[in-house]
A = this chain, B = another copy of it.
Amino acid sequence: MSTAPTHEADVVIVGAGISGLIAARTVLAAGLTPVVLEADDRVGGRILTQDALPGLPVELGAQWIGDTHHRMFALAAELGVPTYPQYDDGETSYDLAGSGVLRQSEFHSRFAGELAELEKVFRLLDELAAEVPPEAPWLAPAAAEWDSVTAGAWYDGQGLSPVARTLLEICTVGILAVPTVEVSFLHLLFTIQTCGVTSELFAESEGGAQTTRFVGGTGEIPRRLADLVAEHLVLQAPVQLIEHGADQVTVTCRGGLVARGRRVIVTLSPTLAGRIMYDPPLPGVRDQLTQRLPNASAMKAFFIYDEPFWRADGLNGQLISDVGPARMSNDTCLPGDDHGVILLFLEGEQARTYGRLPHDERRAALTAELVRHFGDKAARPECYVDGEWADRQWTRGCYNANCGPLVWTTFGQALAAPIGAIHWAGTDTATQWSAYMEGAVEAGERAARAVIAELT
């Protein structure tokens, strides 16, 4: 181990996802020297663009930005990554609460009352979320009450019809990637508030969080960011130990690599940040927080066809269903490419159940669901790719961390507060679009600015 190199820097940054790379760039721009230690053999963290076929990349991780993701739009422009709109022509296919497969128009007319119920709940959620300070959810006037009940129990108390309750669950699990009984209602309201309003969060078109994609794949963002800090980046350097003093940190990786600096910014998800050994040890409140912020359970599966055959049938490639292994899907064809690409989301319970099945069984179950909604052509994809995140050693779950009851009100103050020379970033510590790429940028910038202010 004595042969492993030692890196000297002003700021050691743990993790080369967007938050870490943004922090490195910001530190560098201030005339300080960063070193970024990434455990994996690649940058990007929860962004993972992978070729399904040559020249046909799919996004196993973060994929979209939305209209209010101003930091990400600016970043893409700066990095020279063009964007394009998510395809959204045609009808969604539904199968909910025993309805059988119905086109959107028919579903909407048959369940107009149920959809109105849902709208009413969304308005109420917006009203309540507006009372939650995103930088301090524990200060919401009703924080204690909202943090003592699960989102699922609160939903159950709204007197909704089965169709409305099911739709509400699907919408919410599509964001949180865990069943709503696993998170506190305050956490749900926090999530809504950091994103603006429910229409931003849940809508897929006209101002939602998933309107826009990146030419060449989302992976272009971290790749180009990494190019800007390339000489300060070390891959395959899993951090095991952070020794810290008032103005000095020593960060030791598996294999013996050591980085020394004056500050460290840890950008890992809270649960992974909690696995690092700290010397001196961190206060109990911080430690118990990281025991209580589990990463969610999400998985994406892509079917590639020779053409987007559903479009000719007037369908937009989206399904919303409570029947099969995927509750939602998307048309994720590439511009200038003839292939048809359908993305199926497995989130929460589905990610867990089907994620543990053998690959072929999972694929077969997903295929059957596609055929039910889009017809027999769906049975003959040219290729199939899926990606699970809980198995990935340096991520251990997507999309983000969620709080169960009483975590925000009891431990929330330890989420982003620096501890001596240690600062925290990563999208889970953001106050705008937490859990999104937008939040990763915000958090990386915030932590970098705080460190720069201390060091310059």
Among A51-59, A278-286, A440-448, the stretch that binds chain B is A278-286
Instruction: List chain B residues, Cβ under 8 A from A389.
Output: 284
Contact with B along A152-179 (1 / 0, CB 8 A): 1100000000000000000000000011
Check if A181 sits within 8 Å of B405, measured CB to CB. Answer: yes
Instruction: List chain B residues, Cβ under 8 A from A83.
Output: none
Check if B396 sits within 8 Å of A287, measured CB to CB. Answer: yes
How many copies the complex holds: the figure is 2
Q: Does A182 lie at the interface of the complex (its beta carbon under 8 Å from any beta carbon of B)?
A: yes
Check if B391 sits within 8 Å of A284, measured CB to CB. Answer: yes
Contact with B along A131-162 (1 / 0, CB 8 A): 00000000000000000111011000000000
Chain A interface residue bracket vs B: 35 or more
Contact with B along A391-415 (1 / 0, CB 8 A): 1110011000000111000110000
A108–B411 CA distance with the chains assembled, in angstroms: 37
Least CB separation from A295: chain B residue: B291
Q: Does A50 lie at the interface of the complex (its beta carbon under 8 Å from any beta carbon of B)?
A: no
Q: A203 CB to closest chain B CB, in angstroms? A: 27
Q: Does A381 lie at the interface of the complex (its beta carbon under 8 Å from any beta carbon of B)?
A: no
Least CB separation from A152: chain B residue: B148
Least CB separation from A397: chain B residue: B288
Q: Does A369 lie at the interface of the complex (its beta carbon under 8 Å from any beta carbon of B)?
A: no
Least CB separation from A292: chain B residue: B294
Instruction: List chain B residues, Cβ under 8 A from A297.
Output: 288
User: Which 7 interchain pairs have the tightest Cβ spacing?
Assistant: A284-B390, A291-B294, A281-B393, A284-B391, A275-B275, A404-B404, A181-B405
